[in-house]
Amino acid sequence: MHVALFIPCYVDQFYPQVAIATLQLLEKFGCKVSYPLKQTCCGQPMANSGFESKSEACNKLFIANFSGYDYVVSPSGSCTLHIKDHLHTAAHTTKEAHIRQTVYELTEFLTDVLKVEHITAKFPHKVGVHQSCHGQRGLHLSQMTELNAPSFSKPGHLLNMVDGLELITLDRPDECCGFGGTFCVAEEAVSAKMGKDRVADHEIHEAEYITAADMSCLMHLEGILKRQNSKTKVIHIAEILNAE
């Protein structure tokens, strides 16, 4: 299958190792991967700020870049959800409809499309999983604890295949970290307090690393960890699944 790699702009600028790990991981599982060179921001910040009507140029560019592939895969739940739910133009073309139907966040692609049941990765550390809001409640990557329903976690399922990795149990496993895109700018104090609470939950359970399917959440938590001189680090799940 031919997969287009969709890398969020902040990952491209600040965490390129996440993009590289995603590419290598997909190739390990036999995917032919292309990276459309003219891709830019997907337009999510504008849409989240109430300016979705001004993001049509981003939508048109995204369609031009990502048409013609079997799947579009991204190491970001929030950007994936934005494309899945909000990619549209005035023309309402079949191309945009196809992209919305075939865009996947990395862990759901590995779990639901590739049906991965074995991973040759090694990461001998205690790891806490942060369930990002868009991934959990929008893409349904894991179960919400407030529901009386069977528990599941696609990221957790994959991490349990990694040799030497120990998943810790959190007290509040699906609580928001407080990042929320522009929320962390508009509500700085609330955002910081929420992030500190998430960090504390991982630290009290002795996590060496905090991982997630969204580097945006991890970027927020990383800033707090560094300011607290914490020994706990952040790492995107693609980097763990690709570790040797």
Secondary structure of residue 71 in the 3-state scheme: strand
3-state secondary structure of 57: helix
**What's the CA gap between 4 and 71, in Å, rounded?**
6
Confidence of residue 243 (pLDDT cuts 50, 70, 90): very high
Confidence of residue 183 (pLDDT cuts 50, 70, 90): confident
Q: What is the pLDDT of residues 99-132, one digit of tens each?
A: 999 999 999 999 999 999 999 999 999 999 999 9
Mean pLDDT of the chain: 93
* Greater pLDDT, 88 or 74: 74
The answer, yes or no, to whether residue 9 has pLDDT greater than 80, is yes
pLDDT digits (tens, 9 = 90+) for 121-178: 999 999 999 999 999 999 999 999 889 999 999 999 999 999 999 999 999 989 999 8
What is the spatial distance between Cα 220 and Cα 242, in angstroms, rounded to a whole number?
A: 23
Average pLDDT over residues 178-204: 88
- What pLDDT, on a 0 to 100 scale, did the predictor assign at position 115? 97
- State both tokens at 97: 């409809």
Are the beta carbons of 42 and 8 closer than 8 angstroms?
yes
The mean pLDDT value for 40-66 works out to 84
Name all domains of the chain by residue range, CATH numbers in brackets. Answer: 2-113 (no CATH), 126-241 (3.40.50)
CA distances (Å), origin 239, targets 35, 139, 192 = 18, 21, 26
- How many percent of the chain have pLDDT more than 90? 81
List, for residues 55-68, the tens digit of each pLDDT value.
788 899 999 999 99
Q: What three-state secondary structure class fits 7?
A: coil
Could you tell me the pLDDT band of residue 12, with boundaries at 50, 70 and 90? very high
Query: How far, in Å, CA of 90 to CA of 176, rounded?
Result: 34
How confident is the model over 190-209, as a mean pLDDT? 95
Residues 6+ apart with CB under 8 A from 3: 26, 31, 32, 33, 34, 69, 70, 71, 72, 73
Q: Is the pTM of this model over 0.95?
A: no
Predicted confidence at residue 50, as pLDDT, reads: 77
What pLDDT is stored for residue 182 in this prediction?
75
The per-residue DSSP string of 94-160 comes to HHHHHHHHHEEEHHHIIIIIS-------B--SEEEE---HIIIIIS-SB--TTSSS---BHHHHHHT
DSSP-assigned beta bridge partners for residue 104: 73
